[in-house]
Amino acid sequence: MGIQDADVSLAEFEVLERASSEEVSIELINGRIYVVPVPDGEHDEFAAEIRNQILRGSTGLEFFHERGLRVPAYREGRARADGAVAPRGYFRAEPSWADPSGVLLILEITSGRDRDAEIDRVEKRDSYAQAMIPAYLLVDRHYGEVTVFWAPGEGRYTQQATAKFGAPLHLPAPFGFELDTAEFL
């Protein structure tokens, strides 16, 4: 992800998003435009493994790939989450940039360049906390670890737990199971 401009309005973002190619995704986080490359194969495999584990232990929930969400943050923002877990049917009446209030967990997987990973580690994490999304799961391919953040309050997550790839990571309620990260090695 690369910073393209600062202090971009929502209207300017919408023009850029409509003009973008299918090779990239464009997000607006804290008034800045981020151009995100399409996910690579490893990224997709990690997302599929997490999706399968979450759905195996949860009834009535669904995992939505590449879901666009409105996030408050510094300015009204637009984030495209690698994965969003919500009750089945939640997004049925939502537009392409959806209200995040029914989302229970967000998944982000860092992309290829370490400098771009800071957006997932800080900017997006804080935007999701400000949107009061109960849990944020970050797969950090650069550090070889998975971190879950939960209990949002005052614009940030107040709890977190981290596991190195290969070790289990306990996910908080309503999931309440050990995420197996052995497949990430």
What DSSP letter does each residue of 48-76 carry, written as one string?
Answer: HHHHHHHHHT-SSEEEEEEEEEEE-SSS-
Residue 7 falls inside a structural domain = no
Residue 168 falls inside a structural domain = yes
Domain of residue 94, residue span: 40-184
What confidence category does residue 74 fall into, taking pLDDT thresholds of 50, 70 and 90? low
Judged against a pLDDT cut of 60, whether residue 49 lies above it is answered with yes
Residue 103: CATH number of its domain = 3.90.1570.10
Residue type, 63: F
Helix (H, G, I), strand (E, B) or coil at 102: helix
What confidence category does residue 57 fall into, taking pLDDT thresholds of 50, 70 and 90? confident
Whole-angstrom Cα distance, residue 111 to residue 118?
10
Which pLDDT value is given to residue 3?
41
Tokens of 73: 């943050």
Give the number of residues written for the chain. 185
Which pLDDT value is given to residue 11?
82
Residue 97, Cβ neighbours under 10 Å: how many? Answer: 20
What confidence category does residue 4 fall into, taking pLDDT thresholds of 50, 70 and 90? very low
Residue 17 falls inside a structural domain = no
Give which of 147, 122, 100 is closest to 3, Cα–Cα: 122
Judged against a pLDDT cut of 50, whether residue 64 lies above it is answered with yes
Give per-residue pLDDT as tens, 124-176.
999 999 999 999 999 999 999 999 999 999 999 999 999 999 999 999 999 99
Answer positive or negative: Cα dihedral of 171, 172, 175, 177.
positive
Judged against a pLDDT cut of 50, whether residue 1 lies above it is answered with no
pLDDT, greater one: 4 or 19: 19
Residue 35 falls inside a structural domain = no
Which pLDDT value is given to residue 6?
52
- The structure's pTM equals 0.87
Give per-residue pLDDT as tens, 21-40.
777 778 888 888 888 777 88
The residues facing 34 across adjacent strands are 3, 27
Alpha-carbon distances of 60 from 48, 50, 89, 173, rounded to whole Å: 18, 16, 9, 15
What total of structural domains would you count in the chain? 1
Residue 138 falls inside a structural domain = yes
Residue 28 falls inside a structural domain = no
Residue 22 falls inside a structural domain = no
Which pLDDT value is given to residue 27?
85
Give per-residue pLDDT as tens, 87-121.
999 999 999 999 999 999 999 999 877 778 999 99
Give which of 84, 73, 99, 80 is closest to 156, Cα–Cα: 73
The residues facing 29 across adjacent strands are 32
Residue 29 falls inside a structural domain = no
Which pLDDT value is given to residue 28?
86
